[in-house]
Structure formats: C-alpha cells, structure tokens
C-alpha cells in the first residue's frame, strides 16, 4: 500500500515537474492560488484545468494569481 502511494506520487511529480517548478517560482514571487469560479482556461496562464472528455474543452476553478490582480 505504501509502496503504491510512493510510486503514484513519484509518477505525478515526474510528469508535472515543469508545472510544479513554474508554480513554485511564481509563489516565491508572491502569487497565490485564488478561487475564480468555473470559467474557460486562458491560454498561457498557470492553472490546473478540468477537461471534458467528450469535447476536450478546458475549464478552471482555481488560478495562480499575483496579489496585485
């Protein structure tokens, strides 16, 4: 059980290393995850999308934003 959890975690971080590095960089500069409600994903913004399998449409609920926004 523990080995499975470690394996899944390692695979997640390996597959998402670029996203995690960019998010950590922006958080270090003062950005925070903010609730924005269900909306379409803007290209180029750092967010975790929800993808509809039937259409491929991406939506977001939370977005990494600077405190100034």
What does the pLDDT read at residue 28? 93
CB 20 within 8 A of CB 48: no
Please give the chain's pLDDT, 69 residues, in tens: 788 788 777 777 777 788 888 888 989 999 999 898 999 888 877 777 888 899 988 899 988 888 765
Tokens 């999308």 identify what position?
49
Q: How far apart are CA 41 and CA 60, in angstroms?
A: 6
pTM of the predicted model over 0.75:
no
Sign of the C-alpha dihedral computed for residues 42, 25, 49 and 17 taken in this order: positive
């Amino acid at each position: 059980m523990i080995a499975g959890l470690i394996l899944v975690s390692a695979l997640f971080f390996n597959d998402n290393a670029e996203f995690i590095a960019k998010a950590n960089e922006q958080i270090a500069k003062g950005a925070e995850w903010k609730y924005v409600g269900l909306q379409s994903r803007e290209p180029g913004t750092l967010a975790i999308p929800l993808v509809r399998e039937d259409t491929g449409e991406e939506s977001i609920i939370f977005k990494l934003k600077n405190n100034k926004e």
